[in-house]
Each structure stands twice: as structure tokens, then as C-alpha cells.
């Protein structure tokens, strides 16, 4: 019989930290040994190896499946590991947990999820009992009810987020391109939560072009999804009546609507998902639709490094070279109040402290969240708390290969790393940019996001 280090591994998007940690507390209270990265990892540790080892050392896993998680490359990676472990027949299994809006994870079509809804007390208690039964792999019975004490998570996190003025202006700027017939790619570095931008773009498009003319596709996360499964999923998301089994059938269905006189707005999120061949096929079909219907077909794509690659890797022959590139703006004071503090319930922070947070974090979204959590816990020296956590080390997880060390140590000594570009010619600098360790300054130069990042980098690499 296998001896496991952990009973349960919890996979979640970092923006769901408070909800995931409350769940972990409740499971520990039931006697389970739980792995959640915030409790187990430490600064300087190889984040990728530690996570994978912990998952392999767990009896089962919980995948917190929300729209934000579906948009996370790291959660998708953990899902692939879970799927492979389950396929080995060792008894490993995973339980999807949903709260808030139901996400578009393809496996949820065939795997039953425990739905916590809006996490109000009654719903949470009933769902938690069903989760306990699922972890024991037994049915919950007719009237599931948990009678013990539970740590309830904040429910405000599941509520729709209202955009600040800066975000509303950004959305308006996108539509100046779209209304003029220019397709757009919105590019986000690692750590940015794009869900609220996607929702705002969709709502704006529906008000402009009509709900029936606005389509939103989100490619399946699984790397094992075949091309026909990939495009069948996209066809379903577009509401096509016919069964779709190939890229050209999906493109034909799109084109038929355009030939019928419809003016379509297509929003593509999660482009990073799925196998590379399927992504390339999708990009190729989109390029064909853009060229054939420049006035009737309006396109906005949201993604990161892999989306940018479709514009830059092959020059004039690139699949998406016709798209206007619009990077997401950095986090500002208004963002913190509208997008972060709104999820923290009763937390009150002065403008002076928020300015300190932005300066210390370099406006990095994950570091901003970590600072606010430390402040919420009442830690006066919140800077030291964040620096001592595992998060700064996680930001360098992609760069702990020995072959990068010499060049990276050299770069860490420099103030500027060249002219700002979302696709620098130097491969290592490009990777640093997309990992969100670099940012463009007001002079159009690439610089390190903050002094904390350079200090941690030097320490981890022994520079």
C-alpha cells in the first residue's frame, strides 16, 4: 500500500488564494494532511519541482475550477499532471470544485464537480459536506449537511468586478481600433488577471453590435485534446448547429454567418491553451477570415507570450501579423482600490500605504496581492513578510537552469536592458519580459520592475 506524504493537493489560481486557504483550513480541521503552496513552499526553493513532487506524493487532488483558473497556464499544467497520474491506475483521483461563475473547462462535461455557488454560509456548508464525501469516493445521500465549525471564505471575491476609470478608458481605446476595422491582440504579461477585461470587452461589444453577433471562444485547456475535439469545442461555444470536427469546418461556419450578412465580433481568450498545432490552425483560420472579411469581421484576442509569438516568429508570414498590439497597463492606485481592495472585504488602506505597496512591488500584480494580504493579516513589516515568502522565488522559477545563470547575473547588474519591445530579440530578455520581471519605462527602455526583484534574483542565483 502506497504511503502518501499528503492526503490532498489543492490546485488554484493565485487570485483565489483567500478562498483556497479557507478550504484548506477546513480540510485540516477534518484530519487531512493538505498541500497548499502558500503553506509548504519557501523562498529560494525550485517552485516547479516542488509542486510536481507534492502532487505525485498526494493521495488525491482538488482542482478549484473558476474562469480565472481556466485562464491560468500553471493550473492547466497541474491539471495535465493530475490527468496523467489518474491514467496510471494507482488510485489517484481529483475532484473539481467550482465557485462563482461556472468555468469552461472541457472535462467538466464528463466529470461531476462540487459546486459551492456564491459561497454563502448555507451553500458552503452543504457543498463542503459533498466535498468530504467525494474525497471518500462515496455518494452524499439525499440531504447532505455538515454540522461542524467551518472557516467561511469571503464571498465578495465571487462578485463581478466593477472596472475603474482607467480600465474603462482602456476598453474604449480597444474599440477605437475595432470600430475602424482593425483586429486587436491584448497582451498580458505573467500574473495579470484578464477576466474583468474580457467581460468588459464582451459587454461593450454586445451593446454595440447586438448580443447575437458577439461570440466568445475559449480553447480547451487539455494538451491531449485532438484537433477535432479542439474545434468541436469552439463550434459549441459559437453556438453552431452543425457538428464541427476540423479547423476548416469551424472557419466555414464562421464565414457562412458573415456571408449571410452578420457583422461578427469575436473575442478569443485563453489562446495559450491546448496543443501548439491546434493554436496554429486557429491562428491561420483567423487570418483567413480577417483577409476575406475586413469590414464585417471584428476580432479581439487576449493572451500572452504564445499569442505574441504568432505575430513575431515568422515575420511577414506570421499568422497574426495584421493585428494591432495593445499591452495591458500596469497596476495603478485606482486598480488597487477597484480590483484588489474590493475583494478584501473591510480592509482599509491609506493612499500613502498603497503608494508604498506599488513602489515596493513594482506594480507587479502578484506582489501587490501579497502585500495587501500581509497588511490584512496585521503585519506592520509587510515588506519583510512578502520578501520572506515563497512568491519572489516563484517569479524566477523559469530561470534556475544553470545555462541562464551567467547572462542573468550580468543583466541583474544593469539598470536598462535595451529598447522597450514586447518581443525583444534577445531570447533571455524576452523570457524575463513575459515573466513580468521587466517593464517598459517612460523613456521607452526595458527596466527591472522593482529593486525587490533584482535583489531576490541575485540572491537565488548567487550573483
1 domain residue, yes or no: no
Let me know whether 341 and 400 are in one domain: no
Let me know whether 409 and 307 are in one domain: no
179 domain residue, yes or no: yes
Domain boundary among 92, 126, 158: 158
Predicted local confidence at residue 408, as pLDDT: 93
DSSP code at position 64: E
Domain containing 25: what range?
A: 6-158
> To 5 degrees, how large is the angle CA 280–CA 283–CA 285?
110
Domain boundary among 158, 187, 204: 158
* CATH number for position 109: 3.40.50.10140
Label residues 160-188 b or e (16+ Cβ within 10 Å = b): ebebbeebeebbeebbebbeeebbbbbbb
Burial, 72: exposed, middle or buried (Cβ in 10 Å; 0-12, 13-18, 19+)? buried
148 domain residue, yes or no: yes
Domain boundary among 375, 393, 411: 393
Let me know whether 381 and 413 are in one domain: no
> Are 298 and 245 contacting, i.e. CB atoms less than 8 angstroms apart?
no
> Are 131 and 114 contacting, i.e. CB atoms less than 8 angstroms apart?
yes
Q: How many CB atoms lie within 10 A of CB 295?
A: 8
Let me know whether 312 and 385 are in one domain: no
Q: At what angle do helices 276-292 and 227-238 cross, to 10 degrees?
A: 50
Let me know whether 207 and 82 are in one domain: no
129 domain residue, yes or no: yes
How many domains is the chain built from?
4
| CA–CA gap between residue 158 and residue 238 (Å, rounded) | 26
361 domain residue, yes or no: yes
Predicted local confidence at residue 52, as pLDDT: 83
Let me know whether 349 and 292 are in one domain: no
309 domain residue, yes or no: yes
19 domain residue, yes or no: yes
Let me know whether 18 and 131 are in one domain: yes
Let me know whether 262 and 144 are in one domain: no
Let me know whether 48 and 144 are in one domain: yes
Closest to 186 measured CA to CA, from 268, 311, 302, 305: 302
381 domain residue, yes or no: yes
Let me know whether 181 and 267 are in one domain: yes
Let me know whether 313 and 434 are in one domain: no
Reading the block at residue 222, the C-alpha cell is 487539455
Predicted local confidence at residue 281, as pLDDT: 92
| Low-confidence spans in the chain with pLDDT less than 70 | 1-3, 15, 42-47, 67-74, 76, 101-110, 142-147, 154-164, 221-222, 316-317, 339, 342-346, 401
> Are 152 and 159 contacting, i.e. CB atoms less than 8 angstroms apart?
no
CA atoms within 13 A on the CB side of 349: 31
Predicted local confidence at residue 367, as pLDDT: 93
* CATH number for position 203: 3.40.50.300
Let me know whether 62 and 144 are in one domain: yes
Amino acid at each position: 500500500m502506497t504511503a502518501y506524504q499528503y492526503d490532498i493537493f489543492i490546485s488554484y489560481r493565485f487570485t483565489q488564494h483567500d478562498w483556497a486557504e479557507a478550504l484548506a483550513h477546513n480540510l485540516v480541521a477534518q484530519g487531512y494532511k493538505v498541500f497548499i503552496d502558500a503553506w509548504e513552499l519557501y523562498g529560494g526553493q525550485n517552485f516547479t519541482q516542488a509542486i510536481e513532487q507534492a502532487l505525485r506524493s498526494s493521495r488525491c487532488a482538488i482542482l478549484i475550477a473558476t474562469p480565472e483558473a481556466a485562464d491560468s497556464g500553471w493550473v492547466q499544467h497541474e491539471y495535465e499532471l493530475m490527468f496523467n497520474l489518474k491514467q496510471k491506475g494507482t488510485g489517484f483521483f481529483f475532484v473539481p470544485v467550482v465557485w462563482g461563475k461556472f468555468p469552461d473547462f472541457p472535462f467538466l462535461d464528463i466529470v461531476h464537480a462540487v459546486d459551492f455557488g456564491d459561497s454563502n454560509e448555507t451553500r458552503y456548508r452543504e457543498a463542503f459536506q459533498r466535498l468530504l464525501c467525494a474525497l471518500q469516493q462515496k455518494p452524499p445521500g439525499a440531504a447532505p449537511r455538515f454540522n461542524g465549525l467551518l472557516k467561511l471564505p469571503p464571498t465578495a471575491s465571487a462578485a463581478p468586478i466593477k472596472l475603474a476609470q482607467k480600465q474603462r478608458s482602456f476598453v474604449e481605446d480597444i474599440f477605437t481600433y475595432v470600430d475602424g476595422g482593425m483586429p486587436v491582440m491584448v497582451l498580458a504579461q505573467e500574473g495579470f488577471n484578464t477576466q474583468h477585461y474580457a467581460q468588459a470587452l464582451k459587454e461593450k461589444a454586445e451593446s454595440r453590435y447586438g448580443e447575437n453577433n458577439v461570440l466568445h471562444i475559449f480553447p480547451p485547456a487539455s494538451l491531449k485534446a485532438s484537433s477535432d475535439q479542439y474545434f468541436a469545442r469552439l463550434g459549441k461555444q459559437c453556438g453552431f448547429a452543425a457538428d464541427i470536427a476540423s479547423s476548416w469546418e469551424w472557419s466555414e461556419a464562421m464565414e457562412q454567418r458573415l456571408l449571410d450578412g452578420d457583422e461578427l465580433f469575436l473575442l478569443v481568450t485563453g489562446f495559450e491553451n491546448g496543443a501548439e498545432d491546434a493554436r496554429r490552425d486557429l491562428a491561420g483560420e483567423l487570418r483567413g477570415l480577417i483577409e476575406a472579411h475586413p469590414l464585417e469581421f471584428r476580432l479581439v484576442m487576449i493572451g500572452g507570450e504564445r499569442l505574441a509569438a504568432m505575430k513575431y516568429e515568422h515575420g511577414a508570414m506570421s499568422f497574426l501579423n495584421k493585428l494591432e498590439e495593445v499591452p495591458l497597463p500596469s497596476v495603478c492606485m485606482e486598480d488597487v482600490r477597484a480590483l484588489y481592495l474590493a475583494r478584501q472585504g473591510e480592509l482599509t488602506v491609506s493612499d500613502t500605504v498603497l503608494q508604498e505597496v506599488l513602489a515596493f512591488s513594482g506594480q507587479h500584480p502578484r506582489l501587490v496581492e501579497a502585500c495587501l494580504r500581509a497588511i490584512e493579516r496585521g503585519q506592520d513589516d509587510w515588506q519583510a513578510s512578502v520578501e520572506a515568502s515563497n512568491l519572489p522565488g516563484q517569479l524566477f522559477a523559469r530561470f534556475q537552469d544553470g545555462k541562464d545563470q551567467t547572462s542573468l547575473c550580468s543583466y541583474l547588474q544593469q539598470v536598462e536592458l535595451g529598447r522597450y519591445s514586447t518581443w525583444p530579440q534577445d531570447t533571455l530578455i524576452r523570457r524575463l519580459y513575459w515573466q513580468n520581471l521587466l517593464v517598459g519605462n517612460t523613456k521607452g527602455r526595458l527596466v527591472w520592475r522593482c529593486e525587490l526583484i533584482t535583489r531576490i534574483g541575485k540572491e537565488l542565483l548567487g550573483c
